[in-house]
């Protein structure tokens, strides 16, 4: 089996659960460390000629992270593409199982069972309101129907733009401040918010700097995400 992954979280899942099948991955596929495969460009601008030259049996992609025209080029060249869709945690767990089976994983990995167990508890009764920027210049936040938004809701965090018409709306920072959330959640990807880049825009509001991998990736990190994110959120609210 020869597989190319165009999704960083799926790259990690396949590399750990079906060792040896990956022959290509994007430049953004940083986990697991030291992955020795051919790099095929970015998620939004993959080098399709390089992918085709690898003669993969399967390319795994995601409807949000990858562009339809690139996938069309691969299909036109006779490459099979498995396209995932992930909008909430249960769907992520189902899609992970589907991807691993398609990649020839011999057994269901323990981390997937651990992730399912970690997210089986009902969300807390009390909810914290939040805004969740994912970019600045211009400011963009989580909107409707997102995996990260569903994940936060399961941790008791309601983001204030969950009902917005767009999935990742551009909102002026003045409006974000005026919304007066209990918390501002600042992940370190896709935009790398840090202690010196982000919180200063929300003076007077508690800010939680969180791991983007645990907030937005659907893979092995899901097993520890409730603990890692929960600790960061609680620390910001103290």
Here the CATH number for the domain that contains residue 209 is 3.40.50.1980
- Structural domain that includes position 156: 128-237
Q: What average pLDDT does the structure give for the chain? A: 96
Domain assignment of residue 46, yes or no: yes
| Whether residue 153 sits in one domain with residue 197 | yes
CA dihedral 1→222→209→43, nearest 10 degrees, is 20
Kindly state whether residue 123 falls inside one of the protein's structural domains. no
Digit-coded pLDDT (tens) for 99-112? 999 999 989 999 99
Instruction: Between 125 and 42, name the one with better pLDDT.
Output: 42
Same-domain status, 204 and 166: yes
Confidence category of residue 126, pLDDT binned at 50, 70, 90 = confident
Identify whether 118 is part of a domain. Answer: no
Q: Is residue 121 part of a domain?
A: no
The predicted pLDDT at position 206 comes to: 96
Q: Is 77 among the domain residues?
A: yes
Residues 41 and 86 both lie in one domain: yes
Residue 116 lies in a domain: no
Question: CA-CA distance, 167 to 86, in Å (whole number)?
Answer: 13
pLDDT at 36: 95
pTM above 0.85, yes or no: yes
Q: At what angle do helices 8-17 and 110-118 cross, to 10 degrees?
A: 130
DSSP 41-53: B-SSSB-HHHHHH
Q: Are residues 88 and 139 in the same domain?
A: no
Give the pLDDT of residue 98: 97
What is the three-class DSSP state of 84?
Answer: strand
Confidence (pLDDT) at 122: 85
Q: Is residue 31 part of a domain?
A: yes
Query: Does the pLDDT of residue 125 top 80, yes or no?
Result: no
Q: 171-213, pLDDT tens digit by residue?
A: 999 999 999 999 999 999 999 999 999 999 999 999 999 999 9
Asked whether residue 228 carries a pLDDT value surpassing 80, the answer given is yes
| Both structure tokens of 37 | 């495969």
**Residue 195 tokens, joined:** 């202690």
88 pLDDT band (50/70/90 cuts)?
very high
* Nearest alpha-carbon partner for 77 in 107, 99, 102, 55: 55
Count how many domains the chain has.
2
232 lies in the same domain as 134: yes
């Amino acid at each position: 089996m020869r597989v190319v992954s165009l999704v960083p979280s799926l790259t990690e899942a396949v590399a750990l659960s079906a060792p040896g099948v990956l022959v290509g991955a994007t430049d953004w596929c940083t986990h697991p460390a030291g992955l020795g495969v051919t790099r095929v460009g970015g998620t939004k601008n993959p080098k399709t000629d390089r992918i085709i030259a690898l003669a993969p049996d399967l390319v795994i992609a995601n409807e949000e992270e990858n562009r339809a025209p690139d996938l069309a080029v691969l299909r036109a060249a006779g490459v099979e593409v498995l396209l995932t869709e992930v909008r909430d945690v249960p769907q992520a767990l189902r899609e992970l199982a589907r991807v691993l089976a398609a990649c020839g994983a011999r057994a269901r990995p323990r981390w997937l069972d651990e992730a399912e167990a970690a997210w089986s508890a009902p969300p807390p009764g009390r909810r914290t309101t939040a805004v969740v920027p994912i970019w600045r210049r211009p400011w963009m936040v989580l909107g409707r129907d997102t995996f990260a938004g569903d994940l936060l809701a399961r941790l008791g965090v309601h983001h204030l733009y969950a009902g917005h018409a767009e999935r990742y709306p551009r909102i002026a920072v003045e409006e974000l401040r005026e919304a007066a959330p209990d918390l501002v959640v600042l992940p370190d990807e896709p935009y790398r918010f840090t202690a010196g880049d982000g919180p200063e825009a929300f003076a007077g509001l508690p800010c939680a700097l969180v791991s983007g991998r645990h907030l937005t990736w659907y893979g092995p990190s899901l097993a520890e995400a409730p603990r890692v994110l929960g600790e960061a959120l609680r620390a910001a609210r103290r």
